[in-house]
Amino acid sequence: AMFDNLSRSLEKAQRLIGKTGTLTAENMKEPLKEVRRALLEADVSLPVVRRFVKKVEDRALGTKVLEGVTPDVQFIKVVSNELIDLMGGGVGAKDLEPGFPQIILMAGLQGVGKTTAAGKLALYLKKSKKSCLLVATDVYRPAAIDQLVKLGTAIDVPVFELGTQVDPVEIAKRGVEEAKRLGVDAVIVDTAGRLQVDEDMMGELRSIKSAVRPSDTLLVVDAMTGQEAANLVKAFNDAVDITGAILTKMDGDSRGGAALSVREVSGKPIKFVGVGEKMEALEPFYPERMASRILGMGDVLTLYEKAEQAIKKDEDAKKMMDRLLEEKFDFNDFLNQWKSMNNMGGLQMLKMMPGFNKVSEKALYEAEKQFESYAAIINAMDEEERTNPEVIIKSMARRRRVAQESGKAEAEVSKLMTAYTQLRAQVGGMSKLLKLQRAGGNQE
């Protein structure tokens, strides 16, 4: 399957780095070569691979190995992060640009699955309750128009066409006018592809683009294209300034390299992937998911995340302690305190505290409900109220607003104010104790 070699190479890289010591330029040399080889085998273009490997090296040298994590796992984590980054991570699936109607221009070479993708996209939009119009402008191949009409019939989406005797730019323009007249939410303009990048095709695309001013210009790329994908994406992006790509035939035995090139060479995201011939076979593209599919190393990464969470817990506890010492305790702390108690097995913890061991299960359940209600109220507060509780404690108007926004009774809000003030007083007491303890400790 796709990227088989990469996960095998990474396993090898892991063995080479081992579980002790730190990541150094020296011990990463061979593992990085493994990564490089695997990416080239996956058909990623050479410049993209070079930049990627360099980034992994820099990042790996720059990061401290996380406590509780062995260097080999750290290395895999860096590779994973960089992969996600390369494919445009950080933000969720890139959806289509807004517009009324949304106008989506499809571009791409012949045979890549452009017409199929147009149909798939129409069905995708239809499923999210958007009405659609498909526009057929490939006047060079009557079969292409027929194909789109057939697809439209199959998914019950109207297709606008004017045969093969009208200029494609004119068809596109009138198609969009028709879409506006019909009041549909989206119009998808299919265009003619060529076997290779050529100036006629780009010229026509440019003309259609300036005539209809699409919200999206999507380049359809066949995942099988391999190394050539990088040049192709660059050529189209330079010529018509695409907004994103659809990568098709990801279900086939492509080596997947194209997925890594699109963003790198164009700065534009892959928005969807085609995973079959059926109209339903279109998925939004999620870089994180793709990266984990490529790596096939879920276990290793889970290990890393566990260590990370453990450290975060420690840090949270320390932060809380620091705030205690500063005698700061606002609604955020109130909520965090509850949240961390919840993480550690919820209010069951209370049972272990002196004085609380007689608490019944029912009482515990009720306490938990109570805190949930407090959380809803605190979530309805604005930042000032949360960090400077006096503001809301003193203002009936603010309390009323928060009650309304959280859907809780005003009495419930008052109850929270009391609970907060009491807890703060207790925290103040704890803080004094802590300070005394520290002062005592320093004298030893």
Summarize as ranges the residues that interact with ligand GDP (CB under 6 A). 108, 110-116, 193, 248-249, 251-252, 274-277, 281
* Contact status, residue 270 vs residue 88, Cβ threshold 8 Å: yes
Per DSSP, the residues of 235-252 read HHHHHH--SEEEEE-TTS
**CA dist list (Å): 228 to 46, 188, 225:** 11, 27, 6
Distance CA(221)–CA(217), nearest Å, equals: 13
Least separation in angstroms between residue 188's CB and ligand GDP is 12
Least separation in angstroms between residue 248's CB and ligand GDP is 4
Tokens of 58: 């820099």
Q: Which is nearer to ligand GDP, 109 or 176 (CB)?
A: 109
Distance CA(252)–CA(107), nearest Å, equals: 21
* Contact status, residue 95 vs residue 204, Cβ threshold 8 Å: no
Least separation in angstroms between residue 11's CB and ligand GDP is 29
Least separation in angstroms between residue 420's CB and ligand GDP is 56
Q: Which is nearer to ligand GDP, 56 or 145 (CB)?
A: 145
Least separation in angstroms between residue 201's CB and ligand GDP is 12
Per DSSP, the residues of 385-409 read HHH-THHHHH-HHHHHHHHHHHT--
Q: Which is nearer to ligand GDP, 71 or 274 (CB)?
A: 274
Per DSSP, the residues of 259-321 read HHHHHHHHS--EEEEE-SSSTT-EEE--HHHHHHHHH--HHHHHHHHHHHHHHHHHHHHHHHH
Q: Which is nearer to ligand GDP, 259 or 416 (CB)?
A: 259
Least separation in angstroms between residue 223's CB and ligand GDP is 8
* Contact status, residue 50 vs residue 260, Cβ threshold 8 Å: no
Q: Which is nearer to ligand GDP, 281 or 391 (CB)?
A: 281
355: left (phi over 0), alpha (psi -120 to 50) or beta: left
Q: Which is nearer to ligand GDP, 235 or 350 (CB)?
A: 235
Least separation in angstroms between residue 115's CB and ligand GDP is 3
Tokens of 390: 């006096």
Q: Which is nearer to ligand GDP, 114 or 386 (CB)?
A: 114
Least separation in angstroms between residue 112's CB and ligand GDP is 4
Task: Report how far Cα 411 is from the mean position of its chain's Cα atoms.
Answer: 41
Least separation in angstroms between residue 278's CB and ligand GDP is 9
Least separation in angstroms between residue 48's CB and ligand GDP is 23
Q: Which long-range contacts (CB under 8 A, 24 or more apart) does 347-354 make?
A: 347/371
Q: Which is nearer to ligand GDP, 85 or 251 (CB)?
A: 251
Q: Which is nearer to ligand GDP, 175 or 193 (CB)?
A: 193
Q: Is the dihedral of CA 295, 296, 299, 305 positive or negative?
A: positive
* Contact status, residue 377 vs residue 400, Cβ threshold 8 Å: no
**CA dist list (Å): 257 to 49, 87, 152:** 10, 11, 32
Q: Is the dihedral of CA 329, 335, 340, 344 positive or negative?
A: positive
Least separation in angstroms between residue 187's CB and ligand GDP is 18
- Coil/strand/helix, residue 112: coil
Per DSSP, 162 falls in state B
What b/e readout covers 261-278, taking b as 16+ CB neighbours within 10 angstroms? Answer: bbbbbbebbbbbbbbbee
